[in-house]
Amino acid sequence: MQGDYAKHAQVVEKLGVRAVEVRTSSQLRVIDALIIPGGESTTILKLIDKFDMRENLISFAESHPLMGTCAGLIVMSSEVSKLEEKPLGLLDVAVERNAYGRQRESFIDMVQLSLNGKVHEITGVFIRAPKISRIGNDVSVLATYKQEAVLVAANNILAATFHPELTFEEDIHRYFIEKFC
């Protein structure tokens, strides 16, 4: 629909998983998992509603793995500040859009990642990134930046405030495939 789906497709295909660009609700029937990419959250939500995908995405999320990055996190969240469109409400977090500022305040820095009992640093690309301002009881924090949650998981959902697809590191996509798919 909109966003950096091509970069996600490159990463998952490099990891041996076939990627399909999903543009209609009927395509949800032929996939096993979904990544909602970064992009413009307002545009993504408007397109979801324009193409009557909201209810089908919510149903899909009940039994399939979902990953969202940046705008994808915003779209899946239960509450979002500074957003007129209603998010999908799939992940019990509140987020603040563009929390670090405008495009010129975008940055790259190291993120503390804790997966499978191992802690290490990976590169975080923050482009007009959101911040998670509230985390529900069933949501786990898997990565932090300056002690703030930047990668969270709950049930079958994995969501990042940054863009892991824009680095050469595959840790997060590999984790999504191995743990969720």
Domains, the chain, ordered by start: 5-180 (3.40.50.880)
Contact 119, 105 (CB under 8 A): no
Q: For residue 91, what is the enclosing H or E element? A: strand 91-96
Tens-place pLDDT, residues 127-173: 999 999 999 999 999 999 999 999 999 999 999 999 999 998 999 99
Which ranges of 22-87 would DSSP assign to H, the alpha helix? 41-50, 54-63, 71-76
Which residues have a catalytic role annotated? 70, 163, 165
The span from the CA of 142 to the CA of 172, in Å, is 10
pTM above 0.75, yes or no: yes
